[in-house]
Amino acid sequence: MAFRGKNAVVTGGAGGIGLQVSKQLLSAGAAVAIIDLQDNLEEFVKLRAAHPTQSVMIVKMDVANKKGVEATYEEIAKTFGSIDIVVNVAGIFNDKDVQRTLLVNLGGIINSTLSALPYMGKDHGGKGGIIVNMSSVVGLDPMFIIPVYGATKAGIINFTRCLANEKYYQRSGIKFVTVCPGATMTDMFTNFTEKIIFPETSDETYRILDRLNKQSAADVSRCILNVLEKDKNGAVYVIEGKRVFPLDLKPQWTGKEQAL
């Protein structure tokens, strides 16, 4: 995939991995619309100054707000004319706030993805494109200290793989990809033990966090651009140590009928 002239949407683009993805896309020549509840005026000013000839659209919106996200995509489509790329990054970590974690992490990915379809799908007059949804390695392998967060990330993988069904692709021309970064240095690690649901595991949590091989948000964003370039429908990738590793996820349920 070539990025120059493409129109991209990034959720959670005000900071962390989302901001770095926005920077990478702009540097590659794309126009970018950022959807985020957080303000980061200083960074937004820098983005526009660094890319004066490209469109940088900022929309303050909570991805958990379904109707708000739908209206946001309508606004983006009217401004850009079309949408080619969506990278859904927005997420939080706070296992103590179960409902909010579910609504933002899983609900937000679903809201953004489904809201993009009418403007991207060939069956709706769009050009097709690609949607990358960010999960995590803890959506693949359980980590006992963060069960709620891990559950949302597992849900993202299943949701995205379902939409990557070949029949959907033949109809819409939209490819769906999941990325699962390993430990990444973002605000997620701030006051980490205050947000876990089992405080008695705090000591063990610190030991686990200290042992993790951490990567930067910029490292992950470069890998996400690499994934976009691969343009492979249904793929699931682990991002670890500044590298991208494709996963071969084999069917576990042998009792189901052959795919329609």
CATH of the domain at 53: 3.40.50.720
User: Is residue 259, in this structure, part of any structural domain at all?
Assistant: no
What Rg do the C-alpha atoms of the chain give, in angstroms?
18
Euclidean distance between CA atoms 143 and 150, whole angstroms: 7
User: Is residue 256, in this structure, part of any structural domain at all?
Assistant: no
User: Is residue 70, in this structure, part of any structural domain at all?
Assistant: yes
In this model, does residue 206 exceed pLDDT 80?
A: no
Alpha carbons within 13 A on the beta-carbon side of 112: 37
Domain that holds residue 199: 7-246
User: Is residue 258, in this structure, part of any structural domain at all?
Assistant: no
User: Is residue 60, in this structure, part of any structural domain at all?
Assistant: yes
User: Is residue 255, in this structure, part of any structural domain at all?
Assistant: no
Which of the following is catalytic: 73, 119, 149, 168?
149
State yes or no: is 149 an active-site residue: yes
In this model, does residue 260 exceed pLDDT 80?
A: no
pLDDT tens-digit series, residues 157-188: 999 999 999 999 999 999 999 999 998 888 77
User: Mean per-residue pLDDT for 247-260?
Assistant: 77
User: 55 to each of 32, 44, 188, how far by Cα in Å?
Assistant: 6, 12, 29
User: Is residue 31, in this structure, part of any structural domain at all?
Assistant: yes
User: Is residue 153, in this structure, part of any structural domain at all?
Assistant: yes
Q: Which of 86-90, 115-119, 167-171, 189-193 has the lowest mean pLDDT?
A: 189-193
Give the total number of structural domains in the chain.
1
This prediction's pTM: 0.94
